[in-house]
Structure formats: C-alpha cells, structure tokens
Amino acid sequence: MDDFRESQSKELKELGHIALNTSLLSDLLEQAYPVIKDRVEIGFADLTSEVKSVRGTLQAILVALVVIAIILLMK
C-alpha cells in the first residue's frame, strides 16, 4: 500500500510540475506574441521591398535589352 501511495504522490508531483511548466510557457507565449508578430510583419515588409527592388532592377535590365535589340535590328 505504501508503494501505491508513493507512486501516486510522485505522479501528482509530476503532474503539478507539468501544469506549472504549461502555465509558464503560456505566459511566455502571451508576452512574446506581440514581439514575434511585429518582427514577422517587419520581415514581410522588408521582403516586399526587396522584391519590388529586384523587380525594378529586372525591369530596367529588360528595357535596356529591348533598346539594344531595337538598335541592333535597325542597323
């Protein structure tokens, strides 16, 4: 009977630790969520600006190639 009580006591302690850890993780997530959200939004904005920059560069290269092709065709 003592073994049963000891195992029950250990299991209850483990469950208590799990509940405490879950609570702490939940609190940390609630605190970190706004920061993570802001960083993701900033990263997305940076990525969008990079894509626009690359797209602009590629368009400029394409225009230059078209102008060169037109000049070569006119000769």
Query: What pLDDT, in 10s, does the model give residues 1-56?
Result: 678 788 888 888 888 888 888 888 888 888 888 888 888 888 888 888 888 889 98
65 pLDDT higher than 90: yes
Q: Output the pLDDT for position 67.
A: 92
DSSP string, 4-67: HHHHHHHHHHHHHHHHHHHHHHHHHHHHHHHHHHHHHHHHHHHHHHHHHHHHHHHHHHHHHHHH
pTM of the model: 0.47
pLDDT attached to residue 6: 81
For residue 69, the number of C-alpha atoms closer than 13 Å in the C-beta half-sphere is 6
The whole-number pLDDT of residue 9 equals 84
Task: Evaluate if residue 63 carries a pLDDT over 90.
Answer: yes
